Amino acid sequence: MIKIGVLALQGAVREHVHALEASDVQVIVVKKVEQLEALDGLVFPGGESTTMRRLINLYGFYEPLKDFAKRGKPVFGTCAGAILMAKELVGQAEPHIAVMDMKVERNAFGRQRESFEALLKVKGIGDDVHGVFIRAPIIKEVGEGVEVIAEFNGEIVAAKQGPLLACSYHPELTDDHRMHQYFVEMVRNCVVHT
């Protein structure tokens, strides 16, 4: 059975575990660097990217996480998780794990729209995907190898680059597990081909 980890330093960990468990995979709550080695894929949850980054540094996860993605292992980042993956952040000199060719702006929907829900058309998944946005980022620009898979009001809210998947919203906060199933399929394909 394939093994998918959820980085459990901070944020919506339990919800991702629950969403992944709806697929036939073994889910691992990752709290130690040593656990990364056995994984076929990894989820960066939503939460607070600056706090998560602090804990990543504190527990020695920085290089191992970067390495995990560089080795071509699939990573799925939601909300703050997507911020961690971006190679560029608007108004911030230093990105975090910086593995995906996209420029992301934090808290980009403005104060009036701190949190909201919307039905999204997500390429390869469906035109009725329930998106929960909480102080959500926007993917402002993507590089050449990046496929935009969802937009909301003309702004990019989900994208895929090879084994990397990122979205601005929280699919783990709904009972619709299709985004997670989609990621599980990415992981399965990757395991078959490596």
The alpha carbon of residue 5 and the mean position of all alpha carbons in its chain are separated, in whole angstroms, by 12
Cα distances (Å, whole numbers) of residue 139 to 62, 85, 143, 166, 170: 22, 11, 11, 9, 15
The alpha carbon of residue 15 and the mean position of all alpha carbons in its chain are separated, in whole angstroms, by 13
Residue 143's identity, in one-letter code, is: G
Cα(51)–Cα(29) distance, rounded to whole angstroms? 18
Q: How many CA atoms lie within 13 A of 24 on its CB side?
A: 2
- What is the bridge-based pairing of β-strands 147-152 and 155-161? antiparallel
Cα distances (Å, whole numbers) of residue 7 to 46, 95, 119: 10, 18, 27
- Beta bridge partners, 5, equal 28, 42
Please give the structure tokens belonging to residue 123. 């390429």
DSSP 149: E
Name which of 83 and 187 has its Cβ closer to ligand GLN.
Answer: 83
CB 12, min distance to ligand GLN, A: 8
Q: Could you give the residue numbers annotated as active site?
A: 79, 170, 172
Residues that bind ligand GLN (CB under 6 A): 46-49, 79-80, 83, 106-107, 134-135
CB 151, min distance to ligand GLN, A: 19
Name which of 40 and 86 has its Cβ closer to ligand GLN.
Answer: 86
Name which of 103 and 135 has its Cβ closer to ligand GLN.
Answer: 135
CB 141, min distance to ligand GLN, A: 18
Name which of 41 and 46 has its Cβ closer to ligand GLN.
Answer: 46
CB 68, min distance to ligand GLN, A: 20
CB 134, min distance to ligand GLN, A: 4
